[in-house]
Amino acid sequence: MAGSQTPIVGVLALQGDFREHIAVLQSLGADARAIRRPEELALVGGLVIPGGESSVMDKLSRMFGLADPLKDAIRAGLPVYGTCAGLIMLADRVLDAIAGQQSLGGFDISVRRNAFGSQRDSFETDLSIPVLGDPPVNAVFIRAPVVERVGESVVALATLEDGRVVAVEQGNLLGTSFHPEMTGDTRFHEYFLDRVRGVR
């Protein structure tokens, strides 16, 4: 919780690469827990929503009774970090959502799913991210979304060379189009844990 030296951080574990996030958070000293039920969500001081398939996460979150508690927690100021599909889940507007797909919202952004094409169009690139310092972050994009519009209160943390926004923050929310849990660079998770501790 805020101010704790051992922050309790949940990772939404309905679908996707939640195990990788749990491993990174545990390596950084956090008490990282898989979250599948509302009562588990109530115990954490921060939450990571991992990559995966956003439409499946949406359906499962509603099926497990988590969607409304997640929305309430976001509105109440719970620090939440969404990567790839997790970023889509946090967006207020999903420009190419499938029929019936809903997001949790909270981020005043418009995102486009699979903006870079299919799985075989995955790529890596180095990104300059001033809040994380040097060296550049090696970012892995897998069927990644892109942020096409940011609201006035949203800060763009990273852009591609063509200007497309791929990392954002707003209040208690942090989001990346890419997968920092896959590269061994833990700076985004450290940055998020500082928020959970109330340092940032």
Q: Which of 39, 161, 169, 181 is catalytic?
A: 181
* Whether 152 is catalytic: no
In order, the DSSP letters of 90-137 are: HEEEETTPPTT------EEEEEETTTT-SGGG-EEEEE--GGG-SS-E
Close Cβ partners of 92 (under 8 Å, ≥ 6 residues apart): 103, 105, 106, 107, 108, 109, 110, 151
Q: Which of 20, 21, 40, 179 is catalytic?
A: 179
Q: Which of 21, 84, 169, 189 is catalytic?
A: 84
Residue of 105, 75, 80 lying closest to 196 (CA atoms): 80
* Whether 179 is catalytic: yes
Coil, strand or helix: which one is 11? strand
**Active site positions, annotated:** 84, 179, 181
